[in-house]
Structure 1
């Protein structure tokens, strides 16, 4: 994980909230999470504050502020539409957001065998998200692109895969990457389809979060969630639910499997200090290879 270029303490963030949103200044603050790009604080019981940790993430906050309110109108589960915008100031030089706080556990904290109830609602969610994007939609250099453009990164990450798995992983990659490229109009994508961005509670999908990688392109990128989150039975439910709402051809599903393989090895290679993400990578790799064994 890259180091934070700017790190705010709770006391500094409290000053920032007080300066720009004084009506929220009395609400307690505590840090609850940080990723590669953003840090999250909980603000009172119902709100979260999301701030970039590094300059490379500033555009991601802008994208969320610009587009999420529009996308939320057609989605069947909540997404973190900013309810307040923070602007650059002497206290913090980049834009930031206040969003709703959503209850629920990240899906990786649910046993894989208990995740099936969430497959169908996620299939519907992705199908309704995947609509044609306007020309001014964000573009992401590593998501939604032709699968073949991931080849260099794939082989760079392959060395982190257990040695006995590397030959079948490489053979499978070479077959999947040869699948026909996406030829339709660029579709809206979440862009970061790992199950840690899915919140669930008591058999219910409570929110899909972290749209920092929001982009437009090949829907296969998002459909990689089928292997990253689920077993074969639940994955069939996700595919059936998606296909009930959106055209889903065999080539797109095959590319999705290729994306799952690329993201699996990337997570394995880059999650030495993140055991939950590493577990997601190993789960996805097992599912992708296991499906190969059945065919």
Structure 2
């Protein structure tokens, strides 16, 4: 008797608990009576959270996987404290709910930050200079050691090893293989050279700062004029080397735009730059795999461009 083949493993982004708009309306209405009956519509979906717009004004964030719960708890605890210190809007939880019989995990709502993801807008690289300068100034404020001292108590130290180039390089090879298997992109020499060199690098030796932890092209919102509107999705907020956020300088910007970001941010030592470039490749490859697997054409194009930017001067 022939044994049937084992089913393929579920994708990493497969939800453990899917919240529909109807379920979100019921949960929000039950916990926050002032919002009962307000219209609810899907706003965004990621690996770890689903976001709904409630009453045309409030963005409610529901975990999709248990692994996201500690990040949700950190967002609730830390974002209100750091928001006044940052030069761009970030979500500030105004409605918070703990686990219940109806939903096993905490969730929260904040006033929606109007804007579109950089990955959706995809402005030409030459039109990103003003945006890049804003991002540099934002990261300079976020990475102020004083902010970490004030708001970082109890935060984990780089739990995803985002700033460790050897770890990130090792985790990138399967992503590149997946892209080749999907017929999206073959391995190329510049990317492979960067990863090979990174396997022998130590993590940067600087002191940890407060970092967003997952700052990529989906989490930077743009206003209609192309300038920055806000920074969202803080579930990976932690203490880490600044390289964990500076990856956006290499995945999202090139040429004069990248120079403007780094001028606004300040000096970046070579070891930190190398770690940031490796993370830029890793995040871009991960986003590209997800986009190709789920039919997100704009994100796929932006993520593939990010691979090229990450290895460009």
TM over 0.5: yes
Contact 1:177 1:255 in 2 (8 A): no
Secondary structure in structure 1 of the residue aligned to 2:51: strand
2-structure distance, mates of 1:240, 1:218: 19
CA deviation string 1:241-261 (max 9, x = no partner): 001xxx532332232122212
Contact 1:112 1:229 in 2 (8 A): no
Name the structure 2 match of 1:240. 263
Displacement of 1:166: 2.8
Displacement of 1:234: 0.2
Name the structure 1 match of 2:113. 102
2-structure distance, mates of 1:198, 1:85: 23
2-structure distance, mates of 1:242, 1:177: 27
Displacement of 1:19: 1.6
Secondary structure in structure 2 of the residue aligned to 1:290: coil
Give every structure 1 segment of 4 or more consecutive aligned residues whose post-TM-superposition deviation is greater than 6 Å: none
2-structure distance, mates of 1:179, 1:121: 30
Name the structure 2 match of 1:278. 300
Secondary structure in structure 1 of the residue aligned to 2:88: coil
Residue 75 of structure 2 is aligned with which of 64, 83, 86? Answer: 64
1:129 and 2:149 are equivalent in the alignment: no
Number of paired residues?
287
Name the structure 1 match of 2:311. 289
Q: TM-score, normalised on structure 2?
A: 0.85
1-structure distance, mates of 2:70, 2:192: 34
1-structure distance, mates of 2:254, 2:37: 45
Displacement of 1:180: 5.2
Name the structure 2 match of 1:138. 156
Displacement of 1:177: 4.8
Displacement of 1:129: 0.7
User: Are the structure 2 counterparts of residues 152 and 179 from structure 1 closer, same or farther at C-alpha, using a change threshold of 3 Å?
Assistant: closer
Displacement of 1:236: 0.4
How big is the alpha-carbon RMSD for the aligned residues of Structure 1 and Structure 2?
2.0
User: Are the structure 2 counterparts of residues 3 and 288 from structure 1 closer, same or farther at C-alpha, using a change threshold of 3 Å?
Assistant: closer
Specify every segment of 5 or more residues in structure 1 that has no aligned partner in the other structure, as ranges.
none
2-structure distance, mates of 1:112, 1:42: 29
Map 1:252-271; keep pairs closer than 5 Å. 252-271=272-291
Displacement of 1:220: 0.9
User: Are the structure 2 counterparts of residues 174 and 103 from structure 1 closer, same or farther at C-alpha, using a change threshold of 3 Å?
Assistant: same
Moved more, 264-273 or 184-193: 264-273
2-structure distance, mates of 1:92, 1:51: 9
Contact 1:144 1:215 in 2 (8 A): no
Displacement of 1:179: 4.7
Name the structure 2 match of 1:230. 253
CA deviation string 1:130-159 (max 9, x = no partner): 134335113443244421122321222232
Q: TM-score, normalised on structure 1?
A: 0.90
CA deviation string 1:51-79 (max 9, x = no partner): 00121111111110011111212100110
Specify every segment of 5 or more residues in structure 2 that has no aligned partner in the other structure, as ranges.
1-10
Residue 157 of structure 1 is aligned with which of 172, 175, 189? Answer: 175
Secondary structure in structure 2 of the residue aligned to 1:142: coil
Secondary structure in structure 2 of the residue aligned to 1:41: strand
